[in-house]
Structure 1
Amino acid sequence: MSNLWSKMNRREDPNIYEDKDAHLSRVLTVKDFLALGVGTIVSTSIFTLPGVVAAQHAGPAVSLSFLAAAIVAGMVSFAYAEMSSAMPFAGSAYSWINVVFGEFWGWISGWALLAEYFIAVAFVGSGLSANFRGLVGPLGLRFPNALSNTLGSNGGILDITAVVVIALVAFLLSYGVSNAARVENVLVVLKVLAVLAFIVVGLTAIHPQNYVPFIPAYHANADGSAFGGWQGIYAGVSEIFLAYIGFDSIAANAAEAKNPEKTMPRGIIGSLIIAVVLFVAVALVLVGMFHYSKYANNAEPVGWALRESGHGTIASIVQAVAVIGMFTALIGMMMAGSRLLYSFGRDGMLSKWLGKLNKHNLPNNALIVLTVVGIIIGAVCPFAFLAQLISAGTLIAFMFVSLGIYSVRPREGKDIPMPGFRMPFYPVLPAIAFLGALTVFWGLDIQAKMYAGIWFGIGLVIYFGYGIRHSYLNKKNVEKSLTDLDRAEAAEEGEDNYSK
């Protein structure tokens, strides 16, 4: 039993990861990471979640849910900034926790993030599809239900739009991150302009009575979830939190950053600040335009609100740019997810095939797997169901990273390089960040927690059935043991010869 425990807690040498990731090209700058972060954070969520969460949980106080979620995400982002600055490896939290806590804990945090990326790809594809159909609907172009909805939902078989866009982004990424980054930078600017256009036009259609009462009275929804009061705001935080997970996608690409000691903190913290301002502004404008109840089960509330307030042309422009801009979120999520899968293969935790790079030093094998799984999940899981599942996996990884600061800080400047950014208010803030992430996780509904438990059960089976025996750390220890045994036998043989 002690031998098993020691295997689970064996730590990777950070220099090994640096060598393994050396083949990845360091081409991404602060501008690229800001675009990647804003493009991933300010994505499907900003055009969908403010209305959905207002109708289901918080009413006009949905902006407080966004603000509270941003505070927790902001504290965790400081931990991410320090970790990625000190250890700019592919795989983000998975690789860091491998170094600071050990192989098993790294696997758990990485497995949690993998759920995020698998589901986020499907979620963004689904949101893009809903906005695209809302855009072309007024033109008389309507998809049959079988090709518009997920399996078993309103006569659906396959959301064909989501499938096509996920495949297109995978095709773009297969040609390298430099090309993807250039596309990302342009699309992010367009998307931010679309968000600002909605805010400016929406301000002219606000009805102050829609803000009263700002925090509706509490009651339980039919499904048992909370609406109104601080309970409703809290429920909104847990559902909204997925909106802020994009900074993890920045960290996952740290091995491809120029001057990562400065690039990573600026990209992570800068993109989060921009996103918070935009999210809160959109939420306030949206609930001011129409009573929050009007947004129930509406996957494209921004476009709907503009059309219903008489701004059909602006709605079409904003929604067109939004649909195009949602490609940026897919680019960010699929870049990060494929790098995480590559890291699993690189370390022998999953098939070595995933850890292979092509002749252009790109992890396209991992990209293929991420694309196929994302398409399958998107085909069978409805949009609302995906939202909380993304948050569950991410929050667990966030808790690990927050606590990881206590382990990495004493090693900085020794076997781990001194980072260009350090989490402020140490040692208090890492603990508060951990508790904040735990509190948000606790607010997820029981179904999300149950499916997260099933996902981690599968992860444990894979680890103990495959990863613990095939990991490179295990092979390295076996080789070291054999070498030590050979030396001992040689020494023993030498002593025998001497005695003779």
Structure 2
Amino acid sequence: MSQLKLWQKMIRRENPSSYADKDGKLQPVLGKREMIAMGIGTVVGAGVFTMPGIVAAEYAGPAVVISFVIAALIAGLSALAYSELASAMPFAGSIYSWANVIFGEFIGWIAGWAILAEYLIALALVSSAWSSYFQGFLASFGFELPKFFQASFNLAKGTGFDLFGAIAILVVGVLASRGLRNIARIENWLVVGKIAVIIIFIVVGATAVQVKNWLPFIPHHQTGTHFGGITGIIAGATQIFFSYIGFDTIAANSAEVKNPQKTMPQAIVGTLVIATALFVGVAAILTGMYPYEKFAGNAEPAAWALRESGHLLTANLLSVVALVGMFSGLVALLIGGSRLVYSFGRDGLMPRQLAQLDNAGLPKVATGIITAIAIILGGVFPIDMLANLVSAGTLIAFIVAGLAVLKLRKRADIDHSGYKMPWYPVLPILAALAAFLLLCSLNTTAIYLTVGWLVIGFIVYLFYGSHHS
């Protein structure tokens, strides 16, 4: 392939009417309530039950509350960009499909490849957190798995494979292959239960809060590390950011939404507001109950804090709902990831078999592939490593989204009479810039691995995608 021909393919933009035709077989069965439930099911999953403790111990101390607020403000800008893009282009594949239409094939592929890593790592992370909570719950009744199957590979601890995490993803994969309508109904009830127990945790946990645990609210920065001070707060916001992949999960299902021009913006903004309030409440109470150092390496900090403070019944109730809540997050992540892989196959950037739909209009092949890879990642890789890597793809997607809005307004061939991001072009630019600054604040290991993943994506495109798209 000549360099000129490759460049022409890289900048070739997809016709939006072509995506509308290709996605026409997907059934529009989801309404606003189902989409908000799906978004909260993803965002308020491991993010609320696990990340406040990890981020407090490793980065921000009690100021993890500020980390959540900063992440929410930046995510809010991106949420507005996502709302406009989803309203104008309700296609499966979210940022991948939008970038393909706005910027061309290669930028679309790189954005999609970045968010694919996010889905896979988030699935693995949430399944690991789910397993930790489940084992903690069973331990209160005296049951314990053999050491080898308790967690992912760790030679020093004698663990090798996270059995319960793998089983959770497998069950979710089976459910996702049976259709969205029934899953959406289940998700509605799971989210209601999850929010109720989070509120119970905040109320009960408040009785065990000691103000001294919040002091100093912003720990002193430890030179040469990412802990403490403004550095720790920003680093904490970066780690937390993966939770907001829920926006992409909602958008990935745009082609299966009723009245997307109104439903998508309402679902995305509604998810942001509800999720942020819950995050801040849990983080504040958790760091007030015990010194933040106690949560280091703890994948079930909320339930642990309740048990240690004598609220065993509430701790077990929270563990049960945390299990159910994180399970609903796994469902939403797996569905969003499978629709992204379906989109790759639809466009020939990956084998077209991935875009095959069954008689019910469901991409079962794509669902199976995502399930298998997530089982391997979640079963083998440790949770602290996954938490360290998980935000990069979301940040890259949010950068592309902000820039895409700038270009969208100039496209006469796209009907964007629905929702529009306010204060154009200032807010779209701020959305992209803020996400870029957070991306730059990732630790060195995460940056190197992110660059490595993108290089692999370029190689896949060069030797496969560019020849088959």
Report deviation, 1:251.
0.2
* CA contact 2:6–2:466 (8 Å) conserved in 1: no
Q: What secondary structure sits across from 2:371 in the alignment? A: helix
* CA contact 1:110–1:340 (8 Å) conserved in 2: yes
- Percent of aligned positions with the same letter in both sequences? 49
In the alignment, is residue 69 of structure 1 matched against residue 67 of structure 2?
no
* Residues 242-268 of structure 1, C-alpha deviations (whole Å, 9 max, x = no match): 122211100000000000000000011
Alignment of 1:79-94 (within 5 A): 79-94=81-96
* CA contact 1:399–1:434 (8 Å) conserved in 2: yes
Q: Which position in structure 1 is the counterpart of 2:435?
A: 437
In the alignment, is residue 298 of structure 1 matched against residue 298 of structure 2?
yes
Letter of the aligned partner of 2:209 in structure 1?
I
Q: What secondary structure sits across from 2:130 in the alignment? A: helix
* Residues 461-482 of structure 1, C-alpha deviations (whole Å, 9 max, x = no match): 11010111100xxxxxxxxxxx
Q: Which position in structure 1 is the counterpart of 2:126?
A: 124
- Indicate which of 166, 170, 178 corresponds to 1:167: 170
- Indicate which of 123, 143, 163 corresponds to 1:141: 143
Greater CA drift, 153-162 or 428-437: 153-162
Q: Which position in structure 2 is the counterpart of 1:189?
A: 192
Report deviation, 1:76.
0.4
Q: Which position in structure 1 is the counterpart of 2:97?
A: 95
* Residues 99-141 of structure 1, C-alpha deviations (whole Å, 9 max, x = no match): 0000000000000011011111111110100111111111101
* Residues 443-462 of structure 1, C-alpha deviations (whole Å, 9 max, x = no match): 11111111111111111111
Output the CA distance in 2 between the equivalents of 1:349 and 1:232: 39
Q: Which position in structure 1 is the counterpart of 2:413?
A: 415
Output the CA distance in 2 between the equivalents of 1:352 and 1:225: 46
Q: Which position in structure 1 is the counterpart of 2:209?
A: 206
Output the CA distance in 1 between the equivalents of 2:92 and 2:388: 26
Report deviation, 1:441.
0.7
Output the CA distance in 2 between the equivalents of 1:391 and 1:399: 13
Output the CA distance in 1 between the equivalents of 2:99 and 2:57: 38
Q: Which position in structure 2 is the counterpart of 1:452?
A: 450
Q: Which position in structure 2 is the counterpart of 1:284?
A: 284
Q: What is the RMSD of the two structures over their aligned residues, measured on CA atoms?
A: 0.9
Q: What secondary structure sits across from 1:328 in the alignment? A: helix
Output the CA distance in 1 between the equivalents of 2:199 and 2:225: 32
Letter of the aligned partner of 1:444 in structure 2?
L
Q: Which position in structure 1 is the counterpart of 2:114?
A: 112
* Residues 280-325 of structure 1, C-alpha deviations (whole Å, 9 max, x = no match): 0100000111111111111110001001111011100111111011
* CA contact 1:42–1:243 (8 Å) conserved in 2: yes
Greater CA drift, 75-84 or 380-389: 380-389
Output the CA distance in 2 between the equivalents of 1:129 and 1:160: 8
Q: What secondary structure sits across from 2:415 in the alignment? A: coil
Structure-1-length-normalised TM-score: 0.92
* CA contact 1:82–1:419 (8 Å) conserved in 2: no
Letter of the aligned partner of 1:260 in structure 2?
P
Output the CA distance in 2 between the equivalents of 1:424 and 1:387: 33
* CA contact 1:242–1:388 (8 Å) conserved in 2: no
Report deviation, 1:391.
0.6
* Residues 15-38 of structure 1, C-alpha deviations (whole Å, 9 max, x = no match): 000000000000000000010000
Letter of the aligned partner of 2:198 in structure 1?
V
Letter of the aligned partner of 1:187 in structure 2?
L
* Residues 321-350 of structure 1, C-alpha deviations (whole Å, 9 max, x = no match): 110111110111001000000000000000
Output the CA distance in 2 between the equivalents of 1:342 and 1:379: 24
Output the CA distance in 2 between the equivalents of 1:304 and 1:172: 30
Q: Which position in structure 2 is the counterpart of 1:158?
A: 161
Q: Which position in structure 2 is the counterpart of 1:324?
A: 324
Q: What secondary structure sits across from 2:298 in the alignment? A: coil
Greater CA drift, 438-447 or 94-103: 438-447
Output the CA distance in 2 between the equivalents of 1:318 and 1:219: 34
| Unaligned stretches of 5+ residues in structure 1 | 472-500
Structure-2-length-normalised TM-score: 0.98
Output the CA distance in 2 between the equivalents of 1:425 and 1:112: 28
Alignment coverage as a number of residue pairs: 466
Letter of the aligned partner of 2:118 in structure 1?
E
In the alignment, is residue 398 of structure 1 matched against residue 401 of structure 2?
no
Q: Which position in structure 2 is the counterpart of 1:381?
A: 381
Output the CA distance in 1 between the equivalents of 2:427 and 2:362: 37
* Residues 77-98 of structure 1, C-alpha deviations (whole Å, 9 max, x = no match): 1000000000000000000000
Letter of the aligned partner of 2:65 in structure 1?
S
Output the CA distance in 2 between the equivalents of 1:388 and 1:56: 11
Letter of the aligned partner of 2:414 in structure 1?
I
Output the CA distance in 2 between the equivalents of 1:290 and 1:107: 45
Report deviation, 1:217.
1.0
* CA contact 2:26–2:256 (8 Å) conserved in 1: yes
* CA contact 2:244–2:394 (8 Å) conserved in 1: no
Report deviation, 1:399.
0.6
* CA contact 1:225–1:445 (8 Å) conserved in 2: no
Q: What secondary structure sits across from 1:226 in the alignment? A: coil
* CA contact 1:194–1:321 (8 Å) conserved in 2: yes
* Residues 135-181 of structure 1, C-alpha deviations (whole Å, 9 max, x = no match): 11111011122001112352112111011110101111111000111
* CA contact 1:239–1:388 (8 Å) conserved in 2: yes
Q: Which position in structure 2 is the counterpart of 1:492?
A: none
Q: Which position in structure 1 is the counterpart of 2:367?
A: 367
Letter of the aligned partner of 1:168 in structure 2?
V
Output the CA distance in 2 between the equivalents of 1:361 and 1:243: 29
* CA contact 2:239–2:390 (8 Å) conserved in 1: no
Q: Which position in structure 1 is the counterpart of 2:347?
A: 347
Q: Which structure has the larger Rg?
A: 1
Q: Which position in structure 2 is the counterpart of 1:469?
A: 467
Letter of the aligned partner of 2:133 in structure 1?
N
| Unaligned stretches of 5+ residues in structure 2 | none
Report deviation, 1:419.
4.0
Output the CA distance in 2 between the equivalents of 1:383 and 1:466: 32
Q: Which position in structure 2 is the counterpart of 1:263?
A: 263
Report deviation, 1:225.
2.9
Output the CA distance in 1 between the equivalents of 2:125 and 2:248: 16
Report deviation, 1:4.
2.4
